[in-house]
Amino acid sequence: MYKLFYFPRNASWAPHLVLEEMGADYELVLVDRKSNAQKSKEYMELNPTGRIPTLIGDGLVLFESAAICLYLCEKNPQANLMPELGDPNRARFYQWLFYLTTTVQSELMVYIYPSEHTTDQEATASIVEAQEASIIEMFALLDKQLEDKEYLVTGNISVCDFFLFMLSHWASDLKQPPLSFSNLGRYLRNLAKRPAVQKVCSVEGTSLVAYE
């Protein structure tokens, strides 16, 4: 059994979706960010970064959402959540996964937490404005990529789709939110209909009304 240390709608969301989609045997352990539990001595002994998520399973303790998801895919190949070795789409899978996690997610963190990225608190409004414009361009690129496509990488759902769903939800307050794009909006509404997404969102207390 896997044990996922999580907090609703944090970066643990994608691994939670992946675990549910692949039908894995797992247990959730809440790390209460409201009380700063991710910085507790007990949690830091598991994850020295003091961040969420952490996965325990197969005698291994692992952190970083993308690393957790890739590990789960390798341990559960029957779930088919990433292309097989030798498949040209494997490279595209890596391309989009790293774009989502190292580019879009990183830029979103600056947008959401601007005060943590400057020593001049009067500059936060300017940071938010600049980040918003940049992030909207990123979602426009993804919208174009999804033209006439059901999923981001191949004809099958992959880890990339769960990351994109998570990041799109985080970006709901943009002036041009992901749901407002024609292709991306269609794609997100379809993902919201998946049983795994609905189950995870129910458990985490996340409303899907906006996707109806």
Tens-digit pLDDT profile for the chain (212 aa)?
999 999 999 999 999 999 999 999 999 999 999 999 999 999 999 999 999 999 999 999 999 999 999 999 999 999 999 999 999 999 999 999 999 999 999 999 999 988 888 887 878 888 989 999 999 999 999 999 999 999 999 999 999 999 999 999 999 999 999 999 999 999 999 999 999 999 999 999 999 999 99
| Last-in-domain residue among 79, 97, 130 | 79
DSSP of 147-174, one letter per residue? TT-SSSSSSS--HHHHHHHHHHHHTTTS
Residues 143 and 189 in one domain: yes
Q: How far apart are CA 160 and CA 120, in angstroms?
A: 35
Q: Are strands 54-57 and 60-63 parallel, antiparallel or unpaired?
A: antiparallel
Task: Tell me if 211 is assigned to some domain.
Answer: no
Task: Tell me if 126 is assigned to some domain.
Answer: yes
Specify the DSSP class assigned to residue 50: -
Task: Tell me if 125 is assigned to some domain.
Answer: yes
Q: Which domain holds residue 73?
A: 2-79
| Last-in-domain residue among 53, 79, 105 | 79
Task: Tell me if 55 is assigned to some domain.
Answer: yes
pLDDT (0 to 100) of residue 36: 95
Residues 63 and 33 in one domain: yes
pLDDT (0 to 100) of residue 21: 98
**Domain count of the fold of the chain:** 2
Q: How far apart are CA 28 and CA 41, in angstroms?
A: 19
Write down the residue that tokens 């379809």 correspond to: 190
CA angle 209, 191, 72 (to 5 degrees): 125
pLDDT (0 to 100) of residue 64: 97
pLDDT (0 to 100) of residue 116: 83
| Last-in-domain residue among 79, 101, 121 | 79
